[in-house]
Structure 1
């Protein structure tokens, strides 16, 4: 094994750890505050769908001999740039997204007081069901294709590979929009109170290493279809980093003096004109 292969594996491990750990600061912060105020359920809820799709697509690319054969036929004999750490990351992300979403949907079970943000917005629900319908349409087309089980026909016919791509694009769609409600919530509140910046810093580091790993893998294969053949993984890192930069700007620059950020230790109880902290 050469240096680049070792470096790729190292980047994969580190970005998996960074992205995996990034799921913990937000639910832990909410648990410590006994509140989800300042944040919205839209992010963890749509994340559940996104990581379910990501897990299914990654596991299929990694384990299915048919999908790998169809991929090879379409991309000049190459193999998908999906690693086992991608599967474990997706599974872990799904579990933590469900846990985080439950803090909003079932606040009393966590000992939280109900707060604004417990109900998903209509745009997020529209994206949620739109993605489900879109995948269903592609599955219908693939099932009706006579060449769906053929590897040789993967170049110019509808095959199961296209169905898996449709599932993977759900994760891409989710990533492109999932942070928007929280960005807008921070903007309206003029504060990042309740929103953990640590998860953003870890996400940003993971995005850089994920893209670096994919670039190394493509260079090793001497073919950049390692990126074009797996656009979701490439786009995930880029889209996440753009949002991460926005959150960093909000937290450290735009609302750095806002009353919310320093009070992430606990919720405030308001009585008349006085505020008292509950730690």
Structure 2
């Protein structure tokens, strides 16, 4: 084992660094591009029937948790400073600029997609009968809305507790959260949102019996991004191993691993739905267009 206790032989280090960088570019490019096809498709169809509003709203909140976690971890690691003296480099998840760029970009694109679903300016869309609408806008499912409110309240509470701990304040003394604990809760929030957000979209596709408006390109890019993200994390873990085992290092990065595995699993389900409903697209598009014309007395 070399001086920095890496599992990678010293003569292979440069090659591994190149592979890690390439994998980083691949997963960031894949995940970033994957946000554009739904937006473009909605614009061409002049409606957003193919995307569930629950899916997008839950995803947006998940990105808020993820971005906060990544920024805290990255700048703490980068500057060599921590909120508490017990936090060391070995106690932190591996965070790269690739992660931060993808997350911020994804959040912004999610907001744009949400603006399409809510039919805000500058979009001039119509919404057919296949979605739950109020006027011509989708509305959140009450169950997901309640869940979201609970998650936001918990997020506010743990943030106050963490700030209280970081400032060594005496306002809250019965519970404390250091940087690692706070970030673990945030990443668990992201995992929860990632897990739950796919359920309304799968149900939405099932109710419509069609995948039109939900891009297959997005699914394939999402899966490729998840696979390359896992590969990059594994190679980074080999480099970061010191006194801990590789499984311990991977354990500290359970959030990134969990998000990637969930993404790959549910996108596989979407592909199955594409195969199941591929013959219904034209019929569903015509049906939704007819229903829209009848509702608004347009011909």
TM-score by length of 1: 0.83
| Cα distance change, pair 2–190 in 1 and its aligned pair in 2 (3 A) | same
Task: For structure 1, list consecutive stretches of 5 or more residues without a partner in the other structure.
Answer: 150-156, 272-279
| Cα distance change, pair 146–18 in 1 and its aligned pair in 2 (3 A) | closer
Is 1:251–2:270 an aligned residue pair? no
For residues 19-34 of structure 1, what are the structure 2 equivalents within 5 Å?
19-34=31-46
Is 1:178–2:197 an aligned residue pair? yes
Shifted more, 124-133 versus 238-247: the winner is 124-133
The equivalent of 2:188 in structure 1 is: 169
Provide the secondary structure at the position in 2 that maps to 1:64: helix
Corresponding residue to 2:106 among 80, 90, 93 = 93
Distance in 1, Cα, partners of 2:92 & 2:192: 24
The equivalent of 1:38 in structure 2 is: 50
Deviation of 1:6 (Å): 1.7
Point out the structure with max Rg over C-alpha: 2
The equivalent of 1:125 in structure 2 is: 145
Distance in 2, Cα, partners of 1:228 & 1:111: 47
Q: Which runs of 4+ in 1 moved over 4 A?
A: 65-68, 70-76, 143-149, 261-264
Shifted more, 3-12 versus 17-26: the winner is 3-12
Contact 2:83 2:166 in 1 (8 A): no
Provide the secondary structure at the position in 1 that maps to 2:290: strand
Deviation of 1:187 (Å): 1.3
Distance in 2, Cα, partners of 1:246 & 1:212: 22
Contact 1:71 1:80 in 2 (8 A): no
| Cα distance change, pair 146–235 in 1 and its aligned pair in 2 (3 A) | closer
Distance in 1, Cα, partners of 2:178 & 2:203: 40
Contact 2:34 2:221 in 1 (8 A): yes
The equivalent of 2:6 in structure 1 is: none
Is 1:160–2:210 an aligned residue pair? no
| Cα distance change, pair 112–51 in 1 and its aligned pair in 2 (3 A) | same
Distance in 2, Cα, partners of 1:72 & 1:80: 17
| Cα distance change, pair 8–268 in 1 and its aligned pair in 2 (3 A) | same
Q: How many residues align?
A: 262
- Superimposed CA distance per residue, residues 77-126 of structure 1 (whole angstroms, 9 cap, x where no aligned partner): 46531100100001100100000000111356401013434111122212
Deviation of 1:21 (Å): 0.3
Deviation of 1:130 (Å): 1.9
Contact 2:91 2:180 in 1 (8 A): no
Deviation of 1:256 (Å): 2.8
- Superimposed CA distance per residue, residues 137-175 of structure 1 (whole angstroms, 9 cap, x where no aligned partner): 3234434548969xxxxxxx7313322322222211110
Distance in 2, Cα, partners of 1:127 & 1:96: 23
Provide the secondary structure at the position in 2 that maps to 1:110: coil
The equivalent of 2:30 in structure 1 is: 18
Deviation of 1:133 (Å): 1.6
Distance in 2, Cα, partners of 1:67 & 1:130: 34
Contact 2:90 2:249 in 1 (8 A): no
Contact 2:55 2:200 in 1 (8 A): yes
Deviation of 1:218 (Å): 1.2
Distance in 2, Cα, partners of 1:51 & 1:68: 24
Is 1:5–2:27 an aligned residue pair? no
